[in-house]
Amino acid sequence: MTTKNFSIAVDADGFALVTWDMPDRSMNVFTEEVMDELDAMIDRFAGDAAVKGVVITSGKDGSFTGGADLNMLQSMFAQFEAKKTVDEAAAVAELFERAGRMSWIYRKLETSGKPYVCAINGTCMGGGFELALACHGRIAAPSAKMGLPEVKVGLFPGAGGTQRVPRLADTQAALQMLLKGETLTASKAKAMKLIDEVVPQEELVAKAKDMLKAGLSPVKPWDQKGFKLPSGPVYSAGGAQLWPAVSSLYRKETADNYPGARAIVKCVYEGLLLPIDQALKVEQRWFANVLQTTEAAMMVRSLFVSLQALNKGARRPADIAPTALKTVGVVGAGFMGAGIAYVSAKAGLDVILVDRDQAAADKGKAHSEELMKKLVGQGRATKEEAEGVLARITATPDYAALSEADLVVEAVFEDRAVKADVTGKVAAVMKPGAIFASNTSTIPITHLAEAFPDPARFIGIHFFSPVDKMMLTEVIMAEKTEPTALAVALDFVRVIKKTPIVVNDTRGFFVNRCFLRYISEAYDMIIEGVPAAMIENAAKFAGMPVGPLALNDETAVDLAQKIMKATIRDEGEAAINPAHFKLINHMVDDEDRLGRKNGKGFYDYPAKPAKKSLWPGLKALYPQQKPDDIDFAELQQRFLVTMALEAARTIEEGVVTDPREADIGSILGLGFAPYTGGMISYIDGMGVPVFTALCERLAAKYGDHFAPTPLLKEMAGKRESFYGRFAPVDVAAA
């Protein structure tokens, strides 16, 4: 049998070693061709008496498979949408069959009469782990990572994952893993009984064959008479305790916004009431159902397709050679600068960390020491790795040390004069051609570039706090920034494993402009007399991870006041809402409520272990509405619409030129309701005409800040979408 993606070797004992090693791919993925070959191999082995058992492994170093191929997923969505316009019933029937193909191939393997062992040599995700679960034995290398992360991109494990996991592990642990899309270490997978053994990498194949030699049964436990579920029947005393709690927790965590997560609960509950073949059919029906939802289409596009494209450099100028970055400078060893130094050193770069004196620079380096010490304690890094990271950071007050840096990132206090002073000092010692980047959250990059002798080499790189955890960076083009600076900045961001979005210069860039709309809408609601608890809960029910008042406390209420004052100074009093300014001035100047940092803001922060609670004094600031008179669903809409409208405005103004970046930026930077696929996908998902009409209705009730822009009205009239009108183009591929 000849295959393109698998090699087959049968030994003297009749054990077939199947090695998955796709040519011209750095990682194995599931394509239609791969499934065709796997299907044919199962038939061949089943009909060959000489084959006594099968071992499946990967030829890729450190990786079994990353899951489904992007092109296959996009093709399935596109074909369904195209056929649906012609014959919806036929389109749904075809989607149902395609949705179940992988599941039934695995079921064929499981019932073929031949024992299969999966030898997991590294990363094994999605459909690959479902393949392993269908095998009769599973062993993994100690470094292997495995999981079913589909729920994170709007789907769920639709090739048997929702049925085999709760037949191997207890129901509560299975649901937790499935609903979180959790990545498991080999040891945790074994503890959950999802794999049988953890063995050294070099012994994987030999140990797999030993399992076959020991007489591994080709019949799975659930195909044997008398099989009992690990947690007992659904209709039992244990089930009566578990399932009501599952339903409650699901709604608390998701607000029922995620069809994929809802389907997981349905599949596990309904499937455990049935024999495995019927259960798999239930899973197939739910999978086909979820594939038809707007949420799945938007989340797959943004959090799978677009995210990978941006991480691979979709916006990087293709005609500029990659930069071999070796040394970066970071000026300002405060919390942000120390974080930038840490992620740079952890990525293998040499770092020159500069501050006003040695003590301040050393304090910044100590931040990296603390973070690495924590990783070592958690077993996520070795002592030698920690020492290596610290050795790559040179802390000094001497600007001359920056002379070898390929890129210098300025991360000093958010003050234009201070930044200008530092910029001049750095420029005096930088080597020819080196790039200067400013980490600022509010000051226009074009203004800051005036202090640098060659604005073509000046760019903004806006990190988010805390730097080691937040995956997004905004790369900001000033008016005179040249493509070379952009290329170097994107190369740096890729090295430190962050996701970049490229935006043109404006006050607040992209993320902070949308953030301010979120906070401003909460201010409006407070002034209207909406109870603070309803404001926070409406935001969470809309899909936001943190309520706007709690978020404002985290970023500091007095910072909001400073931003308002700076805006008035630069753009005039008409640039801000006077009622908002009055509210914040009262909070800061009259009440000394600065946010979490001084223990009181919109919330009170008592000493631990007591939990924070909303400040009761908020009720006295404005006459309160009765909760029963307030449209809770409309509060949710207001939060999402005001941010999405601002995102649309940034595209209209040319601040953002690629809708993918608005979507990814809104989710990674703000946590904007991930089930929507991001702010622009939120608009496209309901349709621009529907969104525009919603804006007009909200504007009539709550003011002109909801009024649709001229671009939205034009697009609504033409029934255009943002992804249609502003179709993304990968610069690197253009």
8 A C-beta contact, residue 485 and residue 454: no
8 A C-beta contact, residue 51 and residue 10: yes
**Alpha-carbon span 231 to 239, nearest angstrom:** 8
Judged by phi (left if over 0) then psi (alpha if -120 to 50, else beta), residue 652 lies in: alpha
- Dihedral angle over CA of 663, 669, 670, 676, nearest 10: 20
Q: Show which residues are catalytic.
A: 462
Positive or negative CA dihedral for 188, 193, 199, 203? negative
Q: Which residues touch 18 (CB under 8 Å, ≥6 apart)? A: 6, 7, 8, 41, 54, 55, 56, 57
8 A C-beta contact, residue 112 and residue 308: no
**Alpha-carbon span 192 to 174, nearest angstrom:** 8
Q: Which two tokens stand for residue 87?
A: 């014959």
**Alpha-carbon span 422 to 399, nearest angstrom:** 10
Tell me the CA distances in angstroms from 536 to 458, 709, 730, one per residue in order.
40, 28, 38
Tell me the CA distances in angstroms from 733 to 55, 502, 660, one per residue in order.
39, 17, 16
Positive or negative CA dihedral for 338, 340, 344, 347? positive
Is 10 strand, coil or helix?
strand
Positive or negative CA dihedral for 466, 471, 477, 482? positive
Instruction: Give the DSSP H or E segment for 129.
Output: helix 127-134
Q: Which two tokens stand for residue 657?
A: 């030129």
Alpha helices in 137-203 (DSSP H): 161-168, 171-180, 186-191
**Alpha-carbon span 65 to 31, nearest angstrom:** 12
**Alpha-carbon span 169 to 159, nearest angstrom:** 17
**Alpha-carbon span 190 to 65, nearest angstrom:** 19
Q: Which residues touch 365 (CB under 8 Å, ≥6 apart)? A: 333, 338, 341, 353, 390, 393, 395
8 A C-beta contact, residue 366 and residue 395: no
8 A C-beta contact, residue 543 and residue 255: yes
The length of the chain, given as a count of residues: 734
Backbone angles phi, psi at 437, to 5 degrees: -125, 135
8 A C-beta contact, residue 40 and residue 1: yes
Residue type, 115: P
Q: DSSP code of 197? A: E
